[in-house]
Structure 1
Amino acid sequence: MELSGKSPASSDHNTSKKTVASSATAKSTGKSTASSAIMVKRNGKAVASSANPMEPNAATDLSSLPSEQVMFFREVSLGPREAELMFRMIHFWDARNPNTKTLIGREMLLIDEEGTVIQGFIPASRVERYELIAGSVYKLINFFGSRSKDQFRVADHSATVSFSWNSSLSVLENPPVQIPEDRFRFHTYEEFKANCDSRADLYDYVGHMKLVNGQTLTDHIVLDEADIAEKRHLCVHIQTHDGPVMKMYLWDKAASDFCQKFKSYGGIPSVLLVTTVNPKHIGGTLALTSMSSSRVFMDADVQPSKDYLEWLVSNSEIANRVSAEVVTKPEAVTLGELFSYIKNETSKVAWFECTATIDDVIQGSAWYYISCGGCNSKAVKGPTSLVCNNKKCDKREVTGVPQYLTKISVYDKSEQAVFVILGDAGKELTGKHAAELVANYFESNAGVGVDHCVPVPDALLETIGQTRKFIVKVSDHNLTGKTQTITVTKIIPAGAPLPSVSDGISKTGGDDSGPSGVVGGDAGDRARKAAEYLESDEAKRSKSG
Structure 2
Amino acid sequence: MESTGNSSVSGDRKASKKTVASSVTAKPNGKSPVSSTNPMNPNTVTALSSAHANQVMFFRDVSLGPREAELRFRLIHLWEARNIYTKTLLGQEMLLMDEEGTVIQGFVPAGRVGTFDLVAGSVYKLRNFFGSRNKAQFSVADHIAIVSFSWNSDLSVLENPPVLIPEDRFRFHSFEDFMANCDSKGDLYDYVGHMRLVNGQTLTDHTVLDEVAIAEKRHLCVHVQTHDGPVMKLYLWDNAASEFCQKFKSYGRTPHVLLATTVNPKHLGGTLCLTFMSSSRVFMDDDVQPSKDYFEWLSSNTGIANMIAAEVVTKPEPVTLEELFSYIKQEASKVKSCFVVIIRFCVLGVLLVQGSSWYYVSCGGCNSKAVKGPTSLMCNNKKCEKSEVTCVPQYLTKISVYDKSEQAAFVILGNAGKEFTGKHAAELVANFFESNEGAGAGADHCVPVLQALLDTIGQTRKFIVKVSDHNLKGKTQTITVTKILPLEAPLPATSDDIPTTVGDGSASSNGFGDPAGDRARKAADSLESDDAKRFRSG
Whether contact under 8 Å (1:82, 1:143) holds in the other structure is yes
Of the two, which has the highest radius of gyration?
2
Specify the alignment match of 1:404 in structure 2: 396
Cα distance, 1:461–1:218 mapped onto 2, change above 3 Å: closer
CA deviations 1:60-107 (Å, max 9, x no partner) are xxx954389643222222222333322221111111122332211010
Specify the alignment match of 2:360 in structure 1: 369
- 2:261 & 2:355 partners in 1: Cα distance? 51
Whether contact under 8 Å (1:3, 1:308) holds in the other structure is no
- 1:443 & 1:250 partners in 2: Cα distance? 37
Q: 2:115 aligns with which of 110, 126, 129?
A: 129
Structure 1 residue 205: Cα displacement: 0.9
Structure 1 residue 311: Cα displacement: 0.9
Specify the alignment match of 1:163 in structure 2: 149
Cα distance, 1:412–1:470 mapped onto 2, change above 3 Å: farther
Q: 1:335 aligns with which of 320, 325, 336?
A: 325
Specify the alignment match of 1:345 in structure 2: 336
Structure 1 residue 186: Cα displacement: 0.6
Cα distance, 1:251–1:454 mapped onto 2, change above 3 Å: closer
How many residues matched? 463
Whether contact under 8 Å (1:358, 1:466) holds in the other structure is yes
CA deviations 1:358-381 (Å, max 9, x no partner) are 898666654543445665433334
- 1:460 & 1:411 partners in 2: Cα distance? 20
Cα distance, 1:267–1:432 mapped onto 2, change above 3 Å: closer
- 1:208 & 1:86 partners in 2: Cα distance? 35
- 2:455 & 2:363 partners in 1: Cα distance? 28
Cα distance, 1:495–1:22 mapped onto 2, change above 3 Å: farther
Specify the alignment match of 2:136 in structure 1: 150
Cα distance, 1:355–1:259 mapped onto 2, change above 3 Å: closer
Q: What's the TM-score, normalizing by structure 1?
A: 0.69
Whether contact under 8 Å (1:331, 1:352) holds in the other structure is yes
- 2:67 & 2:221 partners in 1: Cα distance? 44
Specify the alignment match of 1:326 in structure 2: 312
Specify the alignment match of 1:473 in structure 2: 466
Structure 1 residue 265: Cα displacement: 3.5
Whether contact under 8 Å (2:200, 2:314) holds in the other structure is no
The amino acid that maps onto 1:338 is I
The amino acid that maps onto 1:378 is K
Specify the alignment match of 2:263 in structure 1: 277
2:89 equivalent to 1:96: no
Whether contact under 8 Å (2:461, 2:486) holds in the other structure is yes
2:202 equivalent to 1:202: no
Q: What percent identity do the matched residue pairs reach?
A: 68
Structure 1 residue 449: Cα displacement: 7.8
2:170 equivalent to 1:184: yes
Specify the alignment match of 2:41 in structure 1: none
Structure 1 residue 465: Cα displacement: 9.1
Structure 1 residue 491: Cα displacement: 3.8
2:43 equivalent to 1:43: no
Where do 1:131-530 residues align within 5 Å? 131-225=117-211, 227-265=213-251, 267-328=253-314, 334-341=324-331, 343-345=334-336, 347-355=338-346, 366-372=357-363, 375-382=366-373, 386-390=377-381, 392=384, 396=388, 398=390, 401=393, 403-406=395-398, 408=400, 419-426=410-417, 469-475=462-468, 485-492=478-485
Q: What's the TM-score, normalizing by structure 2?
A: 0.70
- 1:233 & 1:25 partners in 2: Cα distance? 43
Where do 1:81-120 residues align within 5 Å? 81-120=67-106
- 2:73 & 2:304 partners in 1: Cα distance? 40
Cα distance, 1:257–1:142 mapped onto 2, change above 3 Å: same
Whether contact under 8 Å (2:196, 2:310) holds in the other structure is yes
Cα distance, 1:432–1:4 mapped onto 2, change above 3 Å: closer
Whether contact under 8 Å (1:353, 1:472) holds in the other structure is yes
- 1:478 & 1:295 partners in 2: Cα distance? 37
- 2:402 & 2:95 partners in 1: Cα distance? 52
Whether contact under 8 Å (1:5, 1:23) holds in the other structure is no
SS, match of residue 293 in structure 1: coil
The amino acid that maps onto 2:396 is Y
Specify the alignment match of 1:519 in structure 2: none
The amino acid that maps onto 2:5 is G
Whether contact under 8 Å (2:331, 2:472) holds in the other structure is no
CA deviations 1:345-396 (Å, max 9, x no partner) are 3654443325568898666654543445665433334566655444527582
Cα distance, 1:204–1:412 mapped onto 2, change above 3 Å: farther
Q: Name the one with the larger helix percent.
A: 2
Structure 1 residue 183: Cα displacement: 1.1
- 1:367 & 1:208 partners in 2: Cα distance? 42
Quick check: 483-492 or 73-82, which moved more? 483-492
Whether contact under 8 Å (2:170, 2:190) holds in the other structure is yes
- 1:65 & 1:73 partners in 2: Cα distance? 18
The amino acid that maps onto 2:327 is E
CA deviations 1:422-452 (Å, max 9, x no partner) are 3454565677876788799999999988777
- 2:445 & 2:22 partners in 1: Cα distance? 88
CA deviations 1:457-493 (Å, max 9, x no partner) are 8997998998864422344655788766432223458
Cα distance, 1:264–1:419 mapped onto 2, change above 3 Å: closer
Structure 1 residue 168: Cα displacement: 2.1
Structure 1 residue 242: Cα displacement: 1.4
SS, match of residue 318 in structure 1: helix
Cα distance, 1:7–1:167 mapped onto 2, change above 3 Å: farther
The amino acid that maps onto 2:182 is C
Unpaired stretches in structure 1, ≥5 consecutive residues? 11-20, 27-33, 46-62, 497-545
- 2:100 & 2:312 partners in 1: Cα distance? 44
Whether contact under 8 Å (1:430, 1:460) holds in the other structure is yes
- 1:230 & 1:430 partners in 2: Cα distance? 16
Whether contact under 8 Å (1:90, 1:181) holds in the other structure is yes
- 1:111 & 1:23 partners in 2: Cα distance? 12
Q: 2:59 aligns with which of 55, 58, 73?
A: 73
| RMSD, matched Cα | 4.5
Whether contact under 8 Å (2:95, 2:105) holds in the other structure is yes
SS, match of residue 306 in structure 1: helix
- 1:260 & 1:453 partners in 2: Cα distance? 43
Structure 1 residue 207: Cα displacement: 1.1
- 2:363 & 2:248 partners in 1: Cα distance? 38
Whether contact under 8 Å (2:192, 2:259) holds in the other structure is yes
